[in-house]
Structure 1
Amino acid sequence: MMKDIAQEIKNAKETIVLIYAFNATGKTRLSVAYKDITKKANGNKHAGVYYNAFSEDLFVWDNDEKNDNKDVTLMIQRSSLNKYHSLLTEDAVREKLQSYKPKYDFKFTNESAEDPELGFKNITFFLIEDTEKETPIKISRGEERIFIWCFFLALFEVEGWADVQDQHFFIDDPVSSLDDHNIFITAHLLLKFMEKHCDKRKIIITTHHMGIFSILQDWLKKGENASKFKTKNIKETRRGKDVIKEAIEEPRYLIRLLEIKDGRYKLVGKNKGLHQYHLLLLRILDEAILNNNINTYHLALLRQVLESIASFLGEGRFGYVLEELDFEDANTRTDIINALSHEKIYTNKLEILNPDDKRLLIETLNKLMTKFPFSIS
């Protein structure tokens, strides 16, 4: 049952839990089950805060059809969060949006000028170059999802909510309807979010997007700040009369796949169960090439595939696989893939790959699939 999975997550000693699950597997139901068991353990009071499908459902468009969309606005449904709106500023949301480089600006409208605790009634959007007239526009679905996500990121920081319900953050799929460029940015925001909060509370992130799952788990394990996500413990071993003390690094993160089989849910590691992780990555790369939509992070996914194959072959470096593929420039190719899958590249270079790097990825994948004919259909 889903509550058993929620209990398993709650009992986990790790402060970061990253979960991949296919759409319709039950990620939103998991967030609800986690809310229920943590409330029960907390005297029936909310123990943490959430971002999930219910969060997105609080925002509904009023298209003002009777006036030919003249005053289209994004309405905010009443909820228990309204009382925190008065502590949230437009600039706080703009700060979160800055990484996404929006082409629009916005303004909040209060439900009541006399009673700010009633919260915001709606949000009006307008083009940045139209700040004088502020002609209302309807932003795209992807822009809407980004805005709501940033709205909640800012709301997490107001006093009285997340600092009171302070045991955990549960973030379910903040990347729906986003393109690859914005998925990069979201992954980086989540990384910084984990760096900021993992010392004080548990952070659960669930996603159906293999790209963001792969990027985050790569950064947690091998990113510039990977040491932040490890803890050193002292292990004592007795050898006769002597006690040997040894410092051991243990991860502060748990990476799992949520699977369902015969109506039963289970959390499994990447190398367990029926889930073929490397095949999913190869499928993503193949689709990116077919759609001519290759981005920087696809090189990071290629690197993960190469590392998996190298590990299977008993080698500790992915460059060994490139040598086995008979590339004359194997060392140079290794350096390029390694450099472009680095965290700083993710944050500073988020656009489509240049032709040379794109050619390198395609050539490498083609040779890989020729020598190792994985079935990815």
Structure 2
Amino acid sequence: MNEIKDFDNLTEVATEFRYQFTREGKKQKDLVLFYAFNGTGKTRLSMEFKDIAKQNGGADTLYFNAFTEDLFTWDNDLVGDEQRVLLLNKDSEFFGSKDVSNSDGKRLIEILDIDNKIRPLLHKYTDFNFITDFNYIKPGEENSENPEKHWAVRFIREDFVDGVAQNIENIKISRGEENLFIWCFFLAIYELAIDKASGYDWVKYVYIDDPISSLDENNAIALACELASIIRKDGNDIKTVISTHHSLFFNIMFNELRIKRKTCFLHSNTTNTYSIQDTGDTPFFHHIALLNDLKKVSESDVIHTYHFNGLRTVMEKTVSFFGYTKIDEVIHGLDDEVLFHRAVQLLSHGRYSVFAPSPMTNDNKELFKNILDGFIGKYEFQFPEIFNAENQTA
């Protein structure tokens, strides 16, 4: 059994991850890679990790998470409907230390030709272009006595008009394209930190939380490989934490990064505590955790309609693993043909929300329990010790 550790809160988990980077000798790690379900607290954990340094008097962590994405906001020019730009929050040290500037008082990111550092990364995934304007004045403020200058990104796409290629400026890109742009902006800054560029020489740790939202699997694979190549870059002495709920991304990072690493599964226990288990050489077992949670739900009898979605997810992976063609081939323990077809219908077409959960009727509860018990019994799933970790002593 791989090592299991229990923690009372996310601060303790963050402290444990930092400890992995400061241990002496061969046990010291350069990378922590962990898998956790959505809702476990990955984003909160990333903030706990960076706050530890702030409590000791200074920042040391460059992070990518939901807060990073919030540094980029759209100004859609609701009056003129022409100047659509993505504004950058220049108060954040994500864009370089405010204490470091040149003789003209400009932050170094303003003179580092950041566009040409981002562009080759971005064009691996998409074909739109952009220009960063560090002296952008919002429409309507041009005639002010002292108009505020903003940092803004204008997006451009080539299109054909009457058969002639033209640049269409000030376009509104999709949410997926926006996420890719912000991610590539982050990667460019990450490389500046690796190179110890002025304004980023404070970075000792990089914390990356779920970077692949809104991406299809092809882009997820490309993104993972690109990130791995940057982490392996010669001269990179920055310690890195990566969290994800995406199994494909996790497995690619696991296989690409054969450096001094700790790989683990972070589990949120029913007692509002946390456990981590080393994955060893078998990194992917989150479907077992999901089954275990469904098993607890079944035993508690507090079952909601959306739990069918979780069960269907595991069953679909099993269908794929065994080379079956339909989900009904992995439904066992039902002799009643009516119940059988009802189960397939519920498992295949249920659209249930975790934000507005509705309890199951009693007959559907029995149906859910029968399917779950038959499935677990047929395929003889073994539930690791970690899923009873809340009953252990730390």
Deviation at 1:270, TM superposition (A): 3.2
Indicate the residue corresponding to 1:124 in structure 2.
154
Deviation at 1:62, TM superposition (A): 1.6
Q: 1:133 to 1:202 in 2, by over 3 A?
A: closer
Indicate the residue corresponding to 1:217 in structure 2.
254
Give 1:33's match in structure 2, choosing from 32, 38, 48.
Answer: 48
Deviations 1:326-365 (A, max 9, x none): xxxxxxxxxxxxxxxxxxxxxxxxxxxxxxxxxxxxxxxx
Q: 1:188 to 1:280 in 2, by over 3 A?
A: farther
Aligned 8 A contact 1:2 1:265 in 2: yes
Quick one: distance in 2 between partners of 1:178 and 1:201? 26
Q: 1:108 to 1:70 in 2, by over 3 A?
A: same
Indicate the residue corresponding to 1:258 in structure 2.
266
Deviation at 1:78, TM superposition (A): 3.1
Q: Which runs of 5+ in 2 are unaligned?
A: 1-8, 21-27, 96-106, 138-147, 292-311, 323-374, 382-394
Deviation at 1:64, TM superposition (A): 2.1
Question: Share of identical aligned residues, percent?
Answer: 32
Q: 1:201 to 1:157 in 2, by over 3 A?
A: closer
Q: Which runs of 5+ in 1 are unaligned?
A: 221-225, 230-251, 291-297, 304-368
Larger of the two Rg values belongs to structure: 2
1:77-116 pair list within 5 angstroms? 77-81=89-93, 82=95, 83-86=107-110, 87-100=112-125, 102-111=126-135
Q: 1:5 to 1:280 in 2, by over 3 A?
A: closer
Indicate the residue corresponding to 2:169 in structure 1.
135
Give 1:76's match in structure 2, choosing from 65, 88, 91.
Answer: 88
TM-score (norm. length: structure 1):
0.60
Q: 1:88 to 1:207 in 2, by over 3 A?
A: farther
Deviations 1:67-98 (A, max 9, x none): 3x322111222323343431242111102113
1:154 aligns with 2:188: yes
Quick one: distance in 2 between partners of 1:278 and 1:153? 31
Quick one: distance in 2 between partners of 1:58 and 1:178? 20
Give 1:56's match in structure 2, choosing from 27, 50, 69.
Answer: 69
Is the partner of 2:227 in helix, strand or coil? helix
Give 2:379's match in structure 1, choosing from 349, 373, 376.
Answer: 373
- Greater per-residue helix proportion: 1
* CA RMSD, 1 decimal: 3.4
1:201-350 pair list within 5 angstroms? 201-220=238-257, 226=258, 229=259, 252-261=260-269, 262-270=271-279, 276-277=285-286, 279=288
Aligned 8 A contact 1:210 1:280 in 2: no
TM-score (norm. length: structure 2):
0.58
Aligned 8 A contact 1:93 1:151 in 2: yes
Quick one: distance in 1 between partners of 2:123 and 2:234? 21
Q: Which amino acid aligns with 1:104?
A: F
Deviation at 1:27, TM superposition (A): 1.1
Deviation at 1:38, TM superposition (A): 2.6
Query: How many residues are paired up?
Result: 260
Aligned 8 A contact 2:225 2:256 in 1: no
Aligned 8 A contact 1:106 1:126 in 2: yes
* Relative contact order higher in (CA < 8 Å, ≥ 6 apart): 2
Aligned 8 A contact 2:157 2:167 in 1: no
Quick one: distance in 2 between partners of 1:279 and 1:124? 46
Is the partner of 1:196 in helix, strand or coil? coil
Quick one: distance in 1 between partners of 2:85 and 2:318? 38
Indicate the residue corresponding to 2:305 in structure 1.
none
1:170 aligns with 2:207: yes
Aligned 8 A contact 1:85 1:119 in 2: no
